[in-house]
Chains A and B, each alone.
Chain A
Amino acid sequence: QVQLQQWGAGLLKPSETLSLTCGVYGGSFSGYYWSWIRQPPGKGLEWIGEINHSGGTNYNPSLKSRVTISVDTSKKQFSLILTSVTAADTALYYCARRRVTSTSGGCFDPWGQGTLVTVSS
C-alpha cells in the first residue's frame, strides 16, 4: 500500500522561499499525478499544482508565478518550491497522489501527513 511522507522547513520569514519534498513508498510512481495541496489554519483546501513521472506539470493559476514542482523519479520523490512567501502562505501543506482518468486528473488518494508552514517575521 502506497504511503507518502513529506518533509521541509516549517518556519519562514516573509520573502523567503518555501521548499517541501514528498517521498513515495510502496507503490508505483508512474501512471499518476503527484500533487501539492494546502490548507490555511481553520480553512478549506486549495490545490497548488501537480507533476507526473515524466515531469509534466499543471499549476493553479492563482499561484503559478511563484510555484515550481519538480520530480526525481530515481528516488520516487517530488518537491514544491514557492517563492516570495507572505503571511497569506501560512498553511498546512499536503502532498497527495492524484489518479488519472481518461479525460483529466481524478481524486486525491492517499495524502501525506501534512507539514505546517508558518510565515512570520
Chain B
Amino acid sequence: DIVMTQSPDSLAVSLGERATINCKSSQSLLYSSNNKNYLGWYQQKPGQPPKLLISWASTRESGVLDRFSGSGSGTDFTLTISSLQAEDVAVYYCQQYYTTPPAFGQGTKVEIK
C-alpha cells in the first residue's frame, strides 16, 4: 500500500502570509501513460466533512479560490495558500488515488499566528 506523509503536522501563519504544506508518497503517483499525478488535496473545517480543493496535483476544483494552489510531481507535492485568510483555518489532507486502497496523509492543521 502507498503511504502518504505530510509535513508539518501543524503550522501557524500570520494573516496575509503564505502557508505551505508538503506531502510525500511512498511511491510515485505519476502515471506515465497520461503524465498525470494521482494526488488530491482536501480542506476540513471543524465540524464539517472534507472538501475537495485540488485534483491531479494542481487542478483547482470549481469555485476554489485561486489563493490555493497545488504543485509537485512523482513523490513530492505541495499545497500553497498564497495569502492566508481567517476562513482558511482548517486541517488539510492529501490523498493518493494511484492505487487501491486510496490513502490520505495524516493531516496538517493550519492556524493563525
Contact = CB atoms under 8 A, between A and B. Distances in A.
Nearest to A109: B52
Given A45-B93, A47-B103, A60-B101, A103 B49 contact: no
Contacts of A104: 38, 97-100
Given A44-B106, A44-B107, A113-B49, A108 B95 contact: yes
Contacts of A58: 100-101
Contacts of B97: 101, 104-107
Interface in A40-69: 44-47, 58, 60-61
Main DSSP-derived SS at the A contact region:
strand
Interface in B17-60: 31, 33-34, 38, 40, 42, 49-52, 55
A53 B7 CA distance: 37
Question: What band does the interface of chain B fall in when counting residues whose beta carbon is under 8 Å from A?
Answer: 20 to 34
Interface in A66-121: 94, 96, 98-99, 101-114
Contact of B104 (A44, A99, A102, A114): A44
B16 interface: no
B101 A102 contact: no
Interface of A: 44-47, 58, 60-61, 94, 96, 98-99, 101-114
24 contacts: A45-B104, A45-B107, A47-B101, A47-B102, A58-B100, A58-B101, A94-B50, A101-B38, A101-B97, A103-B38, A104-B98, A105-B100, A106-B40, A106-B55, A107-B40, A107-B95, A107-B97, A108-B52, A108-B95, A109-B52, A110-B49, A110-B52, A111-B51, A112-B49
